[in-house]
Amino acid sequence: MKDTGTPNYIAIEGPIGVGKSSLTLKLADHFGAQTIMEKMEENPFLSGFYKTPRQYAFQAQMFFLLSRHKQLLEANQVDLFQQKVVADYMLEKDKLFALINLDSEEFKLYNQMYELLLARLAKPDLIIFLSADTETLTRRIGKRGRNFEAEIAEKYIEEVNEAYHRWFFHYDAGPSLQVNTSGIDFVENEEDFIKLLEKISRPIKGREFFNPLGSM
């Protein structure tokens, strides 16, 4: 496989349960890259949000915004010309969830902070947007058995999934690749992973789509 210039800073995005963290670790191991891994379990409001969303939405969202920004800002101190970095999220995803979960007044306050923080961060060289149907996402979430995700309603998963697809179709801040993961497994099937490596080893221009033949 000829690598004509794999991006130095790759962000993996997609809805809950799509496999962002697993692919991040796999790519980082392959490239010898530094990882930026979201620490969702550290949010003290998350479990409460999944049980009673309106009561905890603003607290959970602001905690995520500040903690995600702090982590990404610290990672930006890395020389991205010398060290490859693979992240399992980008700050823009935070606003996507805020639009779903906050009321209009809460969102106005949130957005003022968000715009200030976003301006301080480096943009990824490539975004890999992992997609899957809601049924697949629900099955994967159940399979991994995280306690704080036990209360997630399938309706909420579907809403998040639809919001991610709308966001991807409007994203134009850099190269992005949408990968349909419903019938493939990058972690367990090496052939699937090699197909993705071949795809991202060549320049991605604008918004591209990748729908490899399923191995599952």
* pLDDT for the residue 3: 46
pLDDT-derived band at 2 (thresholds 50, 70, 90) equals very low
Domain that holds residue 101: 9-210
Residue 1 lies in a domain: no
Residue 43 lies in a domain: yes
Residues designated as active site: 88
- Here the tokens at position 60 are 């959970």
Pair 23, 186: CB distance under 8 Å: yes
Instruction: Identify the residue whose tokens are 């969102």.
Output: 107
- The neighbour count for residue 71, using CB atoms within 10 Å, is 17
* pLDDT for the residue 142: 83
CA distance 209 to 155: 26
Residue 90 CA: distances (Å) to CA of 12, 19, 69, 105, 170:
8, 15, 9, 24, 15
In this structure, of 18-32, 68-82, 84-98, the range with the lowest mean pLDDT score is 68-82
Strand partners, 22: none
What is the pLDDT averaged over residues 39-61?
Answer: 92
Q: What is the pLDDT of residues 80-129, one digit of tens each?
A: 556 889 999 999 999 999 999 999 999 999 999 999 999 989 889 999 99
Residues ≥6 apart with Cβ < 8 Å to 27: 10, 12, 33, 86
Residue 151 lies in a domain: yes
Residue 93 lies in a domain: yes
Residue 114 lies in a domain: yes
Q: What is the pLDDT of residues 195-208, one digit of tens each?
A: 899 999 888 888 89
Q: What is the pLDDT of residues 156-197, one digit of tens each?
A: 999 999 999 998 888 888 899 999 998 888 878 888 899 899
Residue 2 lies in a domain: no
Q: What is the pLDDT of residues 82-93, one digit of tens each?
A: 688 999 999 999
* pLDDT for the residue 82: 65
Query: Measured on CA atoms in the order 43, 46, 177, 193, is the torsion positive or negative?
Result: positive
The total number of structural domains that make up the chain: 1
CA distance 177 to 128: 5
- Give the CATH number of the domain where residue 197 resides: 3.40.50.300
Residue 4 lies in a domain: no
Residue 215 lies in a domain: no
